[in-house]
Amino acid sequence: MTPDTEDRPQMSVEDFEELVERAPRDIRNRLEFLGGKLCVRHGPLDVEEFEELAASAPETVRLEYVNGKVVVKAMPDGNHGEIFVWLQEQCMQHRPDLRLYPESGVKAEAYRKGRARTDGALAPKGHFRGRTDWSAADGILMAVEITSHDRDTDKRDRIDKPVGYAGAEIPVYLLIDRDNHTLVVFSEPKDGRYRQSDSYHWGATVPLPAPVGVTLDTEELKDYTD
């Protein structure tokens, strides 16, 4: 974890004020901004209320619904974007029948009560055609998260997301961890947990199991340490 990660706010005051201005009237009065974090008064939002809020959010605010709570996902920086493009090229080279879709809204967790905005979703070409903002996870072969330097990365990407994606029965979850310079491959989802978890340092050759069936050359990731 970078030294200033814990002190970095989820969002700016300006973004919070715009979110409140755009939010449905019955939700806006429940939103607070405390200690750099978005908070909800009078109990958590239900999933339908969250979807209303997310639909009205400005482009600079990316919201997720994890473990019944609204969380703010950090905006990607330059290295984050380069890592995504690197992975996209690797996947297309080995599996031209698939596409790595950025910023995909997915119904996650057991009984699909979570709403995750993946950094990447690997699926057959045309998979998201005609789908809504929050798509069922059926047909997605792999979910991808690339950590950001914000205070919620540890719990969100390393703890909550494996549970959420396993609960949605996504076969593979790839976590590209920029703090630890590792790739963690979660696979074999069963009963809301991934039974297999393998960690590799940047620079290693990383096999992604079936149904992905891709082997990653991760040497380039060493260029994006920060």
* pLDDT for 149 beyond 50: yes
User: Band of the pLDDT at 210, cuts 50, 70, 90?
Assistant: very high
Average pLDDT of the residues in 126-136: 89
pLDDT of residue 156: 85
* pLDDT for 1 beyond 50: no
pLDDT digits (tens, 9 = 90+) for 12-40: 899 999 999 999 999 999 999 998 889 99
Contacts by 82-91, CB closer than 8 A, 24 or more apart: 82/223, 82/224, 83/146, 83/176, 83/178, 83/221, 83/224, 84/119, 84/120, 84/144, 84/146, 86/220, 86/221, 87/120, 87/144, 87/174, 87/176, 87/216, 88/120, 90/214, 90/216, 90/217, 91/122, 91/214
- The one-letter amino acid code at 215 reads T
Closest-CA residue to 48 (of 102, 103, 104, 107): 107
pLDDT of residue 35: 84
* pLDDT for 140 beyond 90: yes
5 vs 165: which has the higher pLDDT: 165
Domains assigned to the chain = 5-73 (no CATH), 78-224 (3.90.1570.10)
pLDDT digits (tens, 9 = 90+) for 95-117: 999 999 999 999 998 776 899 99
Q: What is the share, in percent, of the chain residues with pLDDT greater than 90?
A: 79
Which CA distances in Å does 94 have to 125, 156, 214? 14, 29, 6
On whether the pTM is more than 0.85, the answer is: yes
User: Band of the pLDDT at 9, cuts 50, 70, 90?
Assistant: low
pLDDT of residue 74: 86
pLDDT digits (tens, 9 = 90+) for 35-78: 888 999 998 999 999 999 999 999 999 999 998 899 999 888 99
What are the residues whose beta carbons fall under 8 Å from the beta carbon of 112, sequence distance 6 or more?
A: 136, 137, 168
Alpha carbon 51 to chain centroid distance?
A: 16
DSSP label at 223?
G
* pLDDT for 7 beyond 80: no
pLDDT of residue 8: 58
211 vs 76: which has the higher pLDDT: 211
Which CA distances in Å does 8 have to 13, 75, 98, 155, 216? 13, 12, 36, 15, 32
